[in-house]
Structure 1
Amino acid sequence: MIGIPIRRSQLITTFGPGSLIITPEGEANLVGALDKWYYDINQNRVSNLDEYEIFEPRIKSILKVDRLLLPPDYRQSKKNAYSDMQSNTNIYIPLLRFPTWHYCSTCSTLHKLPMTSRTSRAYCKECNTEKKMIQVPFIIVCEHGHMSDFPWREWVHKDENTKCTELMKLQSTGGATLDSLNVVCKCGKKRSLRGIMTKSNSNDDLNDRVSELSKRLNKDPENLFKCPGHKPWFGDEEYKEECKSYPLAVLKNSGNVYFANTLSAIYLPGQRNSEVEDVLEILEKSKITSEFLSDLDNMDQKIKMVKKVSRPELADYEDHYIELAIIFMESAGKNNISDSFQNKKIINKELREKEYITLQKEEDISNLKIRKEWSYGDCSTKEIENYFGLLNRVTKLRETVVLTGFNRLIAQESDTNSSNLLLNGRNLLFRDPGNPENNWLPAFKVYGEGIFFTLNENKLKEWEQDQKLVQYFNERSTKMQKRELFVDLDMINPKSILLHTLAHILIDQLALTCGYNVAAIQERLYVNEEQNGVLIYTSSGDIEGTFGGLVRMGKKEYFFDVIEKALDKARWCSSDPVCSEIGRNVGQGIKNLNGSACHNCSYLPETSCELGNLFLDRILLIDPEIGYFKDVID
């Protein structure tokens, strides 16, 4: 396909392997599997990947991968006529034409083009000349990640095993619905597209729901059409695997075609002194990795090589510190992590447990700078301060985001406890996940700033034991259980929803005062039986971090004023009394998982919320009877 510029971070979050990129001309391009990401235009694999490696040992250990690699950037052989030759040049991310079915712009005859075709012009058998071809708007996908061309021939003949090879056309009767769009075959068969995008809404078990496409494709309603199991981003139209799902037809540019599954971690110093931290930072900047040193026989040779490559920067450091840094770097990805870490929930818990401990302390290393601002017991000037336990300003942080897989149709795994979650993700990202060369995952790192705070533990426990709160929450939980919802049970408790809702209203208020757009500010929740903390942060690709506006609002004299304004604003929603009453009695949002929370009062852009705007309820903040802050609300 044609070359399309894409930001490297987008290849992790939006346009990863298996996703569709829509050009301004409306053509869809399928991003290829990771197996072919580090090849140049002549299909030569990059021999040295050290410059792309990201140093984040915690994620490497937990995900059991050898490397985290930054997506390759495109470079010409020379920047200009007078510059030196560059390394790793002419590297492309593979793009494939998909869907492959097109219709003639003149006669609407359907034709199939190769995935490798770089032009939309092709010979039309009906017009008997070369014509511009337009991609069809529909594809079919299933919840297991498969993607296929829409079965045009099978649909019009009502037979998935049809042998007809006659030409087909798309005909429109002029309406705005699928009923007005027909597929017509030269053999005389004709059928409208009515119902192809409909998902059955029966009351059967979720796993037994069948799409209308599966029910109606074959003439015999008992012969259900199942997913063909194609993975065209592997570069082979014929590649398929057995799949028992029932596919759904979707528009190729629909938002539910691709949901990236990512895992992120804040860089932590670990149990090392500042000198070793500094040496590790120098090694990372110099692109020195454990693989780079693997051919050397002993530690003395490794130290000499490191000092040779990074001579000026390491001149002031003793060999002892360099040796400790090398030992740590070589052992970082070799921890024996139990198979239970294949569970993404446990992975997140493990990552955030150490972050929570670190964020409560002062730190001053190159990738993490934390300033202690205030803690409970310090001189208090406002009543609301008594409801908080700790306030720290994170003047600099580094976040690493890793792509672990993707979903289609639904944004989250229907079974969040699946022990095969990461394994399934690798099987979608790589054609050959068992190849030792493929034991890596794409990642990117961003630098930023933030505010970390916790609530007063004693007040929080007292609030959780309030009988009116317990009664209110038991009623909500009972309604959820009756609907048999498959949700993260760790979030179905008052403390989690309280902290999540507080984070949302705080982000909304901070955006008005610190100069950042609300979509640029993110939340990171630390909530379980032992934790109650929130990191509000913003990040960018600049190694120097961000502008400092958010950190400034983390000062004691500003932060609690912002909290008061946010709580005051949360008292009333422009959709009240509807928002409050429906939230209290029935629930709102997807699967009614929210209480009194809607787009007008509590929702954030999807880039800001890590839970998809679920598990929110203003009542737990400001209700005069059960709200955590009820005694400080006028």
Structure 2
Amino acid sequence: MAETISTDKDNAEPTNSLAMLHDPGQTLDPLTDAEDGAVKNRAKVGSARPSSLLYTYGPGAIMDLPGFAVMPAGLDDWEPIWKRREFIPTIVEPRLLNVVRLHLGPQVDSLRPFPWQPKKGAMSKEGSDLGVPARAFPQWFRCTGCDYLGPLPRFGYTNTHPFRPDLAQFTHQSCPGRGRKTPGAAGRNRQSPAVPAPHLLTCTNGHLDEFPYTLWVHRGGTCPKAELPDLKMRDANIGQSIGSIISCASCGASRGMAEAQGAAGRDKLPQICRGRHPHLNAFDSECGARPTLIMMGASNLWFSSTQSVIVMPRTDAEEAEALADQLRAAVGIEKVAKYASDLDTLRDVADGKIDLKDVSDQSLAAAVADVLAPVDPEEVRQEKLATWDPVELLVPEWRYLQKPALFPQQQNSSGLMVTEMQRGQNLHARIARVVAVNRMKKINAVLGFTRLDEMDRVNDLASRLVKLTRKGRPAWVPATEDRGEGIFLQLDLEAVDEWEKKILDSPLWAAHKQAHRLNFSRRFSETAASVDPDTRLPGPRYWLLHTFAHTLIREMAMSCGYGAASLTERIYGWPSGPQREAAAGLLICTTASDSEGTLGGLVALSEPTRLEGLVISALRRASRCSSDPVCAVRTPSDPEDFLHGAACHCCTFASETSCEKSNRFLDRRFLLDLPTIMGPAVPGFFGSVDAF
């Protein structure tokens, strides 16, 4: 099955649509039917935006369509799609590509956008041969007319409408129904829609497999009366038989799916994982983990592992590195090595792929040397990866924002335009600077994914990151290029340092620290490495900035014209260290993956008079919660292990698309002096709300 990208006429942002192959074992090239003149519209079965393919429905995830579900395939199956074009576009951002190489290996030569081409008109066919390949998964279906449960080949596929990919579905041919059989041709030609069977098996190594229904209903054995028995799946929501009942039509055996749930149910499941990767159509030779039951729509079925940067004006060294990346991706290392001493020929080879007209021979030679430079040994890369901190991606952005003298000299090619704003007289004194981000470009890249747990929430080994290709490591990874706007607020660094010292010695911080240790030790992971949980706990200044960002997002959403779910945070909060200075700032931004970006409603709030009222209103709202006093005094104590304090859905929590920490590490007591009738009291950074 495959996904092709089209343009929504009401929104210029690219969207996606999908198709069906009868043989799921072959390499995916779903538009073959269309090229051969087939009548059926197999190439389009659904749609999704690039942002959802990055964070919600990437390779290995399950996308629930109106008629069935699909899984975007691994990167090997994207190659037949890309070969439809002579030139493969890339996104050039050396800072992000270096991080991807650190995680996945030096063989990664480029960041590629999703296969998409804009259309000139609503009925135009431009880009109809491009798309993201996907497979039908799960491949066990249940008939809605007779409850028959069987594998995909036992069902028919229909989708003949060229402009209605949402009508694609699997049907049970000659469905007998649940009641009296319909006589004559009407009964023989009856077709009932089929829906995916929702039960699956997964493990901590990221494998995913169909549930063994036949073995389950026969309790690990075979049917005594049929080699391939027909099964039925019926819902039983009566008494204690909550869930589905699987029955064998041949021998009459039956068993409830409720038995497979929980720790006791796990002992009744297969004890050895088969190592299946449906997105790769492959099996690992060995796994070693025990499988567990998971539902098709479970929120912990797929966690995207991504990294992102804000594009900034490049230095001369970074421009040379960017040119080297372009040569590596467009020309290839072998040809660069072949023509390294003949730059004129190299220019001819690169003509049409890279614009080298304004590149001097000296700069080109430096880029060639960079391409041919020896890479770090694997042991060195692993050592660097073990000590790598995601904060390293934020440090260059923070340093740039500290140099207003650079703002007028901005390079428009970077897509970044920022303006130092005048502080309003009534703006809280502890907000030191305001910077309007008039334009920005954010690059996001996919590293892989995990199942059951996110990588940053447990002390896991890097090997938990599920691979994106069948053989070896990927030579490229998918990425998106988003444009937008934002507001950057910087707090008084000296005031933050002084406040943080008081918090570190408080009983409240000790309670949060102990709760984090408990949470860390209780996270389910059978592939855990030995990690000190205290090293994964953000400091008090991060809690302060994070809580402040959530209060601003809630307030800004009522004035900027964007929904709260469209606003995102980027927190710059860390103490001084050997290689970086202290930071205390936050960026509230909104981005879109269309070519024009956003409309300016958010950055307009950075004007002094508007921002003054907005900050005061946000802090006043944060001082009250409809769940107070319960919320205001919430403090974790043994055996509790929640990772927030005075924060809840009524006052502080934000949507998943807005928060970079899944609504963890929030406490309004770090923001303001809240009335306390019990529990530890701490000084709020902005003081009492009655003072403003």
TM bracket (short chain):
0.7 to 0.9
Task: Find out whether 1:454 has 2:495 as its counterpart.
Answer: no
Within 1, Cα distance between the matches of 2:568 and 2:235? 46
Q: Which moved more, 1:412-421 or 1:516-525?
A: 412-421
The 8 Å contact of residues 12 and 403 in structure 1, kept in 2 or not, is answered as yes
The 8 Å contact of residues 103 and 110 in structure 1, kept in 2 or not, is answered as yes
The 8 Å contact of residues 622 and 633 in structure 1, kept in 2 or not, is answered as no
Task: Find out whether 1:472 has 2:475 as its counterpart.
Answer: no
**What residue is the counterpart of 1:229 in the other structure?**
275
**What residue is the counterpart of 1:39 in the other structure?**
80
Task: Find out whether 1:556 has 2:604 as its counterpart.
Answer: no
Distance 1:355 1:97, change over 3 A: same
User: Residues 209-358 of structure 1 correspond to what in structure 2 (within 5 A)?
Assistant: 212-217=264-269, 225-235=271-281, 239-272=283-316, 289=330, 291=332, 294=336, 296=339, 298-302=342-346, 320=360, 324=363, 327-328=366-367, 331=370, 336=376, 338-343=381-386, 346-358=388-400
Q: CA RMSD in A?
A: 4.0
Distance 1:325 1:351, change over 3 A: farther
User: Residues 19-418 of structure 1 correspond to what in structure 2 (within 5 A)?
Assistant: 19-25=61-67, 27-40=68-81, 46=83, 50-64=87-101, 65-73=108-116, 90-114=129-153, 118-119=157-158, 120-121=170-171, 131-132=191-192, 133-159=194-220, 165-173=228-236, 175=238, 179=242, 181-185=244-248, 186-196=250-260, 198-200=261-263, 212-217=264-269, 225-235=271-281, 239-272=283-316, 289=330, 291=332, 294=336, 296=339, 298-302=342-346, 320=360, 324=363, 327-328=366-367, 331=370, 336=376, 338-343=381-386, 346-361=388-403, 362-363=406-407, 364-366=410-412, 367-373=414-420, 381-382=425-426, 384-385=428-429, 387-416=430-459, 418=461
**What residue is the counterpart of 1:535 in the other structure?**
587
Aligned-partner SS, 1:38: helix
Aligned-partner SS, 1:394: strand
Task: Find out whether 1:610 has 2:660 as its counterpart.
Answer: yes
The 8 Å contact of residues 424 and 608 in structure 2, kept in 1 or not, is answered as no
Within 2, Cα distance between the matches of 1:419 and 1:106? 46
Within 1, Cα distance between the matches of 2:591 and 2:638? 33
Q: 1:566 Cα deviation (Å)?
A: 1.0
Distance 1:126 1:433, change over 3 A: farther
**What residue is the counterpart of 2:687 in the other structure?**
630
**What residue is the counterpart of 1:546 in the other structure?**
598
**What residue is the counterpart of 2:55 in the other structure?**
13
Letter in 2 for 1:409: L
* Superimposed CA distance per residue, residues 247-301 of structure 1 (whole angstroms, 9 cap, x where no aligned partner): 3333323333222221111112232299x69x979x98x9994549847553344
Within 2, Cα distance between the matches of 1:330 and 1:60? 18
Q: 1:181 Cα deviation (Å)?
A: 3.1
Within 2, Cα distance between the matches of 1:252 and 1:231? 15
Q: 1:230 Cα deviation (Å)?
A: 1.5
Distance 1:449 1:181, change over 3 A: closer
The 8 Å contact of residues 50 and 593 in structure 2, kept in 1 or not, is answered as no
Distance 1:497 1:290, change over 3 A: farther
Structure 2: stretches of 5+ with no match in the other structure: 1-19, 21-41, 102-107, 159-169, 178-186, 524-532, 576-581, 675-681
Q: 1:102 Cα deviation (Å)?
A: 2.2
Aligned-partner SS, 1:179: coil
* Superimposed CA distance per residue, residues 444-487 of structure 1 (whole angstroms, 9 cap, x where no aligned partner): 11111122222111111111222796232123323443554566
Q: 1:392 Cα deviation (Å)?
A: 1.7
Alignment size in residue pairs: 582
Task: Find out whether 1:575 has 2:575 as its counterpart.
Answer: no
**What residue is the counterpart of 1:495 in the other structure?**
541
Within 2, Cα distance between the matches of 1:191 and 1:47? 49
Aligned-partner SS, 1:107: coil
Letter in 2 for 1:265: V
Q: 1:492 Cα deviation (Å)?
A: 3.8
Q: 1:75 Cα deviation (Å)?
A: 8.5
Q: 1:80 Cα deviation (Å)?
A: 11
Structure 1: stretches of 5+ with no match in the other structure: 201-211, 218-223
The 8 Å contact of residues 573 and 579 in structure 1, kept in 2 or not, is answered as yes
Letter in 1 for 2:200: I
Within 2, Cα distance between the matches of 1:596 and 1:455? 21
The 8 Å contact of residues 395 and 449 in structure 1, kept in 2 or not, is answered as yes
Distance 1:289 1:249, change over 3 A: same
* Superimposed CA distance per residue, residues 584-603 of structure 1 (whole angstroms, 9 cap, x where no aligned partner): 35599x94100000111111
**What residue is the counterpart of 1:430 in the other structure?**
469
Distance 1:591 1:558, change over 3 A: same
Letter in 2 for 1:373: E
Letter in 2 for 1:534: L
TM-score (norm 1): 0.80
Within 1, Cα distance between the matches of 2:276 and 2:689? 58
TM-score (norm 2): 0.74
